[in-house]
């Protein structure tokens, strides 16, 4: 996983070209003004989902990981905790290929708090639990870039 902020992405941070493309797209395309939905950038190889939701307690959330896509979570508005662990440390359930969804069970090893401009890259081995509140529930808006691997 990679944690960073878009304002520092060009200051020597080595990122794959596709991740860099996501961050450039975000800074050039006013994603905060976009309505929630899915937007193709390079067809199914690279697209972005704009989401908006209320954060909540972790007991109401679930673990997930993906096999076909990398996730780049970019916070646009609000703050969100994302709990993290490696999939090998959790109990893996049946993979759902049509949704590229690997559900898991277990406890977090660490967490990050994303504020506007912060991004988190999750690789297939990185289980993540999103939409966890920071202190109290709050509305967030973020872009989730999906990079085909």
> Which of 2-6, 14-18, 26-30, 49-53 has the least mean pLDDT?
14-18
| Structural domain harbouring 112 | 2-148
Span 70-117, pLDDT tens digits: 999 999 999 999 999 999 999 999 999 999 999 999 999 999 999 999
Give pLDDT tens digits for 24-66. 999 999 999 999 999 999 999 999 999 999 999 999 999 999 9
Could you count the other beta carbons within 10 Å of the beta carbon of residue 77? 14
Look at residue 12 and tell me whether its pLDDT is greater than 50. no
- CATH code at 76? 2.60.120.370
Q: At CB < 8 A and 24+ separation, what contacts does 86-94 make? A: 86/125, 86/126, 86/127, 87/124, 87/125, 87/126, 87/127, 88/125, 89/127, 90/63, 90/127
Residue 133 has pLDDT above 70, yes or no: yes
* pLDDT given at position 5: 75
**Structural domains of the chain, count:** 1
């Amino acid at each position: 996983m990679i944690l960073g902020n878009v304002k520092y992405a060009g200051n020597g941070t080595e990122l794959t070209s596709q991740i860099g493309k996501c961050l450039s797209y975000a800074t050039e395309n006013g994603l905060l003004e976009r309505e929630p939905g899915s937007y193709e950038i390079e067809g199914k190889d690279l697209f972005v989902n704009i989401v908006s939701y209320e954060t909540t307690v972790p007991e109401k959330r679930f673990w997930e990981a993906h096999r076909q896509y990398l996730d780049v979570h970019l916070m646009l508005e609000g703050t969100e905790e994302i709990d993290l662990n490696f999939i090998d440390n959790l109990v893996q359930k049946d993979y759902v290929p049509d949704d590229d969804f690997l559900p898991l069970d277990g406890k977090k090893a660490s967490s990050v708090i994303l504020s506007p401009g912060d991004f988190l890259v999750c690789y297939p081995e990185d289980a993540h639990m999103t939409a966890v509140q920071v202190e109290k529930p709050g509305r967030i808006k973020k872009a989730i870039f999906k990079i085909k691997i």
